[in-house]
Structure 1
Amino acid sequence: MAFEHILYDVKSRVASITLHRPEKRNALNGAMVAELRAAFKQAESDPDVKVIILKGAGEAFCAGADLEYLQQLQLNTREENLADSKELMQLMQQIYYHDKVVIAQVEGHAVAGGCGLVTLCDLSYAVPEAKLGYTEVKIGFIPALVAVFLVRKIGEGRARDLLLTGRLITAEKAAYYGLVNDVIPADRIAEHVAKIADDLCTGASANSLKVTKKLITDVFDQPLENALEQAARLNAETREHADCQRGIKAFLDKEKMVW
């Protein structure tokens, strides 16, 4: 698929997905959401991709919904708006449940839907200058879809704080809240994220990463006893996987395993 609003590149088992509307501060519209869905699907089916980096071109990571897009939504019927909302819902599910590790490289402000994208990623790193927040209530809208994921990520109290006030917070505060993993200077963030991605590619089994992600996402939806039963089953299944057998053999033989 040819992309107009994003850039897609694969190198050394890392797929880079770049929001590429810098003149619009990488604001989201229907076309970009569709392209993001296609790109994440392509990365998931590509055996040469092990890690995904999501970033933005220009000064902003993502400014949320495009203004022209918001104007069009006012003219839509309820059925059209529901269909549009479900497209965004499916993108969020796609990122959250993705088989591959997804890293956000936040080199500018991430606002509203843009901050929603950061919320969905497994790991996130931001520059000190970045501001993050969910400003939907300030324009009479609601952060409906992202709320489901944000409560899981940072807890109810902090989610209420950010979603109800609509305030923007610094990258440092976002790290304190657990929204991002670390704050990295602008001149080092690309190198830092690339190193994290490379370490995941060479230092961990693809199957182990996939199953661990599944376990983390699934335990929230189950009673404790059910979650433990699933964990025991996945533990047993993983022991039979070729990756586990190779990894244990290398460990016992005191050999360095390169995945």
Structure 2
Amino acid sequence: MTAATTGTTSGRRYTRLVVEREGPIGWLVFDRPDRRNAMDAAMLAELEYAWRELDDDPDVRVIVNTGNGPAFQTGLDVGQLARDPAALREQSRRTKRSELRLTGHHNKVAKPVVAAVNGVCAGGGLHFVADADLVLAASDAEFLDPHVTVGQVSASEAIGLVRRNAFEPVMRMVLTGRHERLSARRAYQLGMVGEVVDPPERLRDAARELALAIARNPPDRLAAAKAALWRALERPGVPRPPTGPPTGAMAVPPTGSTTEPVTQPVTQPLTAPQAEPRADDSRDTRKGDEGTTR
């Protein structure tokens, strides 16, 4: 890969992200593995620049979004933001006014975006799944929305998922909070992810193969096709995916036993940094997993 995080072609230096080019692929990688890739004030600022930088680069045709370490993305770092009142106020303002700048969709990225979910995706990390054009997940990836457990209301992340997925499983994830986790295989059955990669170590290779296949097509046609499908999805009156158990080929997970439980119960205590809960912040649930929200 070229033009790595510490010296991109724009001259901007990233400290919370890895931004690289690999042929026609632009990689946007969350890089706070010691904090489960939770978003602090610096990462929030860098995300907006990184999406724009890759979208403006004529050599990049596809953007792959993934994470370093054992987690994909676990939302806001409420502990850090509690110590940064200005950043906290700005994030609250953007949330209330629907002016978030976290994802490619938020930043009006025209190029195809592939999310490659490694490990835990929680709370605000769900934005990056809901807003990606295509989603791959490692076989050990897990999804949860812990907002209600810490006295908060899940809103835009869940709404984004409902826009493109069946209603009931999203509602279940919202209502069970940190007490259940949706497995990658079940997420595949429900259409939340398009491919489960096993073994997990092959996730980036699989994302690269998919991105290269996409990049063989004319970039202007890719942008036009993407825009048309998103407009159709967001148009009032477009039917939602059906609820209820999957049928046909989707009823069988791509790997492993068909008797795998729908979700994994969470029994380990929360050890995230203590911070006063807010209406737009929450925390993940497993020991060592960072607090999260939108």
**TM-score interval, normalised by the smaller of the two chains:** 0.7 to 0.9
The 2-side partners of 1:31 and 1:192 are apart by 30
Asked whether 1:196 is paired with 2:210, we answer: yes
Q: Show the counterpart of 1:163.
A: 174
Q: Show the counterpart of 1:89.
A: 100
Equivalent residue for 1:109, pick from 117, 120, 127: 120
Name the aligned partner's letter for residue 41 of structure 2. Answer: G
Instruction: Check the 8 A contact 1:37/1:94 in 2, yes or no.
Output: no
Displacement of 1:187 after TM fit? 2.9
Q: Which sits farther off after the overlay, 75-84 or 62-71?
A: 75-84
Equivalent residue for 1:126, pick from 137, 154, 159: 137
Name the aligned partner's letter for residue 127 of structure 1. Answer: A
| TM-score after normalising by structure 1 | 0.77
Which secondary structure does the structure 2 equivalent of 1:8 belong to?
strand
Equivalent residue for 2:156, pick from 136, 145, 161: 145
Asked whether 1:211 is paired with 2:221, we answer: no
Instruction: Check the 8 A contact 2:104/2:132 in 1, yes or no.
Output: no
Name the aligned partner's letter for residue 82 of structure 2. Answer: Q
Asked whether 1:62 is paired with 2:76, we answer: no
> Where in structure 2 are there 5+ consecutive unaligned residues?
1-11, 239-294
Instruction: Check the 8 A contact 1:151/1:159 in 2, yes or no.
Output: yes
The 2-side partners of 1:118 and 1:32 are apart by 18
Name the aligned partner's letter for residue 26 of structure 1. Answer: N
Which secondary structure does the structure 2 equivalent of 1:58 belong to?
coil
Equivalent residue for 1:50, pick from 37, 52, 61: 61
Instruction: Check the 8 A contact 1:97/1:214 in 2, yes or no.
Output: no
Higher helix proportion = 1
Q: 1:162 to 1:70 in 2, by over 3 A?
A: farther
| TM-score after normalising by structure 2 | 0.69
The 1-side partners of 2:67 and 2:188 are apart by 19
Runs of 4+ in 1 over 3 A off after TM superposition: 69-73, 75-82, 92-97, 220-225
Q: 1:160 to 1:45 in 2, by over 3 A?
A: same
Alignment RMSD: 2.5
- The structure with higher relative contact order (CA 8 Å, sep 6+) is 2
Displacement of 1:78 after TM fit? 9.7
Instruction: Check the 8 A contact 2:31/2:68 in 1, yes or no.
Output: yes
The 1-side partners of 2:32 and 2:233 are apart by 35
Displacement of 1:148 after TM fit? 2.9
Which secondary structure does the structure 2 equivalent of 1:146 belong to?
helix
Instruction: Check the 8 A contact 1:95/1:102 in 2, yes or no.
Output: no
Asked whether 1:187 is paired with 2:177, we answer: no
Map residues 211-250 of structure 1 onto 2, 5 A cutoff.
Answer: 211-222=224-235
Instruction: Check the 8 A contact 2:142/2:181 in 1, yes or no.
Output: yes
The 2-side partners of 1:63 and 1:87 are apart by 20
Name the aligned partner's letter for residue 25 of structure 1. Answer: R
